[in-house]
Structure 1
């Protein structure tokens, strides 16, 4: 699949073949069931992403919410991207 232009997670999943949609939906459910409170699910960079909202942390390097986890269906594989988030009490 080329980079998706879907604006919502539902649109993104609808673009996928049934086997890809089913597989990503299983992983999505695991992520949603274990996501810390306060994170949001949205489309970011053509992928399903789970982000720290700007209302929680507005000082990002690019002005966009920081991604914590992303899911994508690529041409030959599916990806689960896990990003490390760290911080301190002063920032």
Structure 2
């Protein structure tokens, strides 16, 4: 398996983490003592911010089309044939 540094994905994670921390800080989540339910809020705000930042990156720097995965297409055809 080939490992390479994906700058686009790393910048999406870094920017979404930073922006979610800023958003939660502006909302006042860091003022009181932390409750265990706050971790759910942190998690879902982080996921939402990651989707938002990924959408922005897709508009600015769209991914190039990848080659079609033949195994995926074959499995999709089998499932479509089964449900006919």
TM-score (ref. length: structure 2): 0.31
Query: Which structure has the bigger radius of gyration?
Result: 2
**When you count helix as a share of all residues, which structure comes out higher?**
2
